[in-house]
Amino acid sequence: MINFGIVGFGLHAVKRLMPGFAEARNCRVVALSRRDWTKAQDSARQFQVPLPFASAEELCRSPQVDAVLVTTPNACHLQDVLRAVKYGKAVLCEKPMGVNADECRCMVEAARRAKVLLGVAQVFRFEDTTARLRDRLAAGQIGRLVFARSEFSFPGGAGHPRAWLNDLSIAGGGPIADVGVHCVDALRFMLQDEVVSVAARGHSDSISREVEAAAAMVLEFSRGTLGLVAVSFRAGYRTPLEFVGEEGVLRADDGLTVEKPIRLELLRNGEVVETEMLSNRQAYTRQVESFAAALEGKAEFAVPGEEGWKNQEILDAAYRSMKTGQASPVRLVPGA
Please write the tens of the pLDDT for every residue from 72-125: 999 999 999 999 999 999 999 999 999 999 999 999 999 999 999 999 999 999
Q: What value does the mean pLDDT take over residues 266-282?
A: 96
pLDDT at 253: 94
Domain boundaries, the chain: 2-123+285-303, 125-279+313-329
Q: What value does the mean pLDDT take over residues 40-49?
A: 97
Q: In this predicted model, what pLDDT tens digit does every residue of 205-229 receive, in sequence order?
A: 888 889 999 999 999 999 999 999 9
CATH, range 2-123+285-303? 3.40.50.720
Q: What percent of the chain has pLDDT over 90?
A: 92
Question: How much is the pTM?
Answer: 0.95
pLDDT at 186: 98
What mean pLDDT value characterizes the chain? 96
Q: In this predicted model, what pLDDT tens digit does every residue of 1-15 receive, in sequence order?
A: 999 999 999 999 999
pLDDT at 106: 98
Predicted confidence (pLDDT) at residue 336 exceeds the cutoff of 80: no
Predicted confidence (pLDDT) at residue 333 exceeds the cutoff of 90: yes
Buried b / exposed e along 10-31 (16+ C-beta atoms within 10 A): bebbeebbbebbeebeebbbbb
Predicted confidence (pLDDT) at residue 158 exceeds the cutoff of 80: no
Identical fold between 2-123+285-303 and 125-279+313-329: no
**Of 219, 212, 265, residue with least CA distance to 243:** 265
- Residues 6 or more apart whose CB falls under 8 angstroms from that of 279 comprise 128, 261, 262
Predicted confidence (pLDDT) at residue 192 exceeds the cutoff of 80: yes
Distances (CA, A) of 20 to 125, 257, 269: 15, 15, 40
Strand order in the sheet with 90-94: 51-53, 27-33, 2-7, 67-70, 90-94, 118-121
pLDDT at 95: 97
Fold (topology level) of 125-279+313-329:
Dihydrodipicolinate Reductase; domain 2 (3.30.360)
DSSP per-residue codes, 146-212: EEEEEEEE---STT-SSTTTT-HHHHSSSHIIIIIHHHHHHHHHHHT--EEEEEEEEE--TTTTTS-
Q: In this predicted model, what pLDDT tens digit does every residue of 243-263 receive, in sequence order?
A: 999 999 999 999 999 999 999
